[in-house]
Structure 1
Amino acid sequence: MKDVASAAGVALKTVSRVVNGEPGVHPTTAERVRQAIESLGYSRNESARVLRQGRTATIGLVIEDVADPFYSGLNRAVEDVAITHGCLVLSGSSAEEPARERELVLTFCSRRVDGLIVVPAGDDHTYLRSELDAGTPAIFVDRPPGPGIDVDTVLSDNAGGAAAAVGHLLAHGHRRIAFLGDCPSIYTAAERLTGYRAAMGGLIDDRLVAMAAPELVRVRADLDRMLALPDPPTAVFTGNGRLTVTALRALGGRRLALVGFDDFELADLLTPGVTVIAQDPIGLGRVATELLFRRIGGDHGPSEQIQLPVRLIARGSGELPP
């Protein structure tokens, strides 16, 4: 910066004002400073600037699995918002392991990130209390934190979306509707089961409910068992995108009406196209990150619980008659 001041024939403070976009510099002088900056190849040391402000210009992001299209979309949205605030994103995948989640979060905190966005794998987040008390803001996305932790949360309408999926199948004449869900310990899976049960009402048959990890062998065995019943299902509601794809493989051409929770690539190119309840992972990431930067900027208001809507996209598979 001293070299720029010397080349432009101005005071060091004048260069600082131009670089930081502050008023009080004559346009001609400011242009002379900018020309000196360009000719000398000067660039501002962002790390030093934010450290003087007591920040590191980084935020930490913990998701389930970056390979999952849902979370990769969320990740990208977080990065897009963060870059507009001059911040970098440090991210890691928990693989649904609470210990890994905790390790990642505490590692980011040890690097003094300015804030955290967490898709929780576990339900005990008391390890975060000291960081929250120290002023590190945290936003939980897709799932809420465990008991005793009061932080901002951004969720999708999981129960409402599941009820809409089942309602769509009921409207097309189905009464025997199976539900394939993920592990019941996962918040989103439990919420979607709640929505399924609410929509089914007195039509619920627990023999048509199966909840476990989305593995092909398990899903195929569950569907075979259900389809062998004297009164088999005529439709199936799958609780997430991986379960939908796994169920399509397991069905092997057998004809069942199908609605899946989460949209996925090529869903519209199958025959028939797959009817889905579509979440907005980009919206989740954007809303969470904008809220985080509000907190970083000094907003100390009460914690917020934001629920984003989902929407049904009818493509043909959910409209098959019984």
Structure 2
Amino acid sequence: MTESARGRPTMKDVATAAGVALKTVSRVVNDEPGVTPATAGRVSAAIERLGYRRNESARVLRRGRTSSIGLVIEDVADPFYSGFGRAVEEVALGHGSLVLSGSSGEDPGRERELILTFCSRRVDGLIIVPSGTDHGYLRPELDAGIAAVFADRPGGLGTDNGTGTGTETGSGTGTGRDTDSCDTVLCDNAGGAYAGVNHLIRHGHRRVAFVGDRASVFTSGERLRGYRRALEEAGLTFDGSLVSNGPAEEAGSALTRMLRGGDPPTAVFTGNGRITVAVLRAGHRQALVGFDDFELADLLVPGVTVVAQDPAGLGRTAAELLFRRLAGDRGAPERIELPTRLIPRGSGELPP
């Protein structure tokens, strides 16, 4: 049964209504040259009158594209990834593409399932915030023409054994892994942490705690590296008893244990926004600098000093890079690192 028989007007119906050839309607619909303004106006009026809508699925398949990309993030409920995903969608919309998205929940198996599902739907490209460290299973998809960009953390394209748990080529902090085959967009995690901890040291603190995410997470490892560098450059001894890595739910109790020790910290650097909020909810009021800005941070008393990254800028940069590749850019893979900025609001300026 034809679309016209089902009540949906076809391009042929438009041609009949406008009194023009079918090819003329095609040219108007696809913004091709060769049609006079008067004829184009007549065709447009017929399209509007009949309510014609072109078959996007057929059009994109003829082009060999599906006009869709896959986005895999950690958690869609996380405000950081909300801003990130919104920016990706805006760039995709500007290129006439839809975004299919899913949350991995920091589960490499779930991440692999999402990625391969998107690939089976023939998305044109992928933007991945990786939770796993081995993405060797992506190699056949990349060879088949799917473009991919890793964002927020680097991916690993080492050998895959078919289970998603293949050989890893590097440590949990992401150093030394094979990321040369895909573009990667990061923020300056180590530099931002260094600036935040150094800010506390310059305000007189010599016992600074670090409360971060799980040590296996790339961003957490990088931020711990920046923390250690700030201590070293200030001539302060690194004390492992002042370091905690774990889920946000345990951050408050971890800091409580440190404060009950014999030589407690006078300040704390928190590794992400959710950990900062957990520490504040636990009632701790010592000097604090947090990595990631968050809603209402400026309204607390004192306001929360933060190292702010730009999730929207991260998403926009990753998406623009992906669409450049889809447009035919065959340059060498890029590794882009976006800057952070320190925002003093009061909590990071409290004295010991």
Which shifted more, 219-228 or 120-129?
A: 219-228
- The answer to whether 1:268 aligns with 2:320 is no
Aligned to 1:170: 201
Question: 60, 69, 94: which is aligned to 1:84?
Answer: 94
- The answer to whether 1:258 aligns with 2:288 is yes
CA distance in 2, matches of 1:243, 1:68: 12
Post-superposition Cα deviations, 1:207-235, rounded to whole Å, max 9, x if no partner, equal: 111111111xx323322221123321111
Question: 224, 229, 232: which is aligned to 2:264?
Answer: 232
Q: Which runs of 5+ in 1 are unaligned?
A: none
Preserved contact between residue 117 and residue 288 of structure 1 (Cα < 8 Å):
yes
- SS of the counterpart of 1:91? strand
Post-superposition Cα deviations, 1:62-109, rounded to whole Å, max 9, x if no partner, equal: 000000000111111111111111111111100000000000000100
Preserved contact between residue 62 and residue 94 of structure 1 (Cα < 8 Å):
yes
Aligned to 1:311: 341
- The answer to whether 1:129 aligns with 2:160 is no
CA distance in 1, matches of 2:333, 2:287: 41
Aligned to 2:246: 212
- SS of the counterpart of 2:248? coil
Q: CA RMSD in A?
A: 1.1
Letter in 1 for 2:342: L
Which shifted more, 231-240 or 201-210?
A: 201-210
Letter in 2 for 1:196: Y
Report the alpha carbon displacement of residue 143 of structure 1 after superposing the two structures with TM.
Answer: 0.2
- SS of the counterpart of 1:268? coil
CA distance in 2, matches of 1:247, 1:266: 15
Post-superposition Cα deviations, 1:131-170, rounded to whole Å, max 9, x if no partner, equal: 1111111000000011344200000000000001011111
Aligned to 2:85: 75
- SS of the counterpart of 1:83? helix
Report the alpha carbon displacement of residue 56 of structure 1 after superposing the two structures with TM.
Answer: 0.9
Question: 206, 222, 231: which is aligned to 2:254?
Answer: 222
Aligned to 1:284: 314
- SS of the counterpart of 1:48? helix
Letter in 1 for 2:344: A
Preserved contact between residue 126 and residue 148 of structure 1 (Cα < 8 Å):
no
- SS of the counterpart of 1:269? coil
- SS of the counterpart of 1:267? coil
Aligned residue runs from structure 1 range 1-322, under 5 A: 1-146=11-156, 147-149=177-179, 150-201=181-232, 202-203=235-236, 204-215=238-249, 218-250=250-282, 252=283, 254-322=284-352
- The alignment-based identity, stated in percent, is 71
TM-score (norm 2): 0.88
Higher relative helix content:
1
Report the alpha carbon displacement of residue 259 of structure 1 after superposing the two structures with TM.
Answer: 0.4
Letter in 1 for 2:90: D
CA distance in 1, matches of 2:279, 2:305: 14
CA distance in 1, matches of 2:132, 2:98: 26
CA distance in 1, matches of 2:208, 2:148: 39
CA distance in 2, matches of 1:300, 1:105: 23
Report the alpha carbon displacement of residue 313 of structure 1 after superposing the two structures with TM.
Answer: 1.1
- SS of the counterpart of 1:90? strand
Letter in 1 for 2:186: L
Q: Which runs of 5+ in 2 are unaligned?
A: 1-10, 157-176
- SS of the counterpart of 1:121? coil
TM-score (norm 1): 0.96
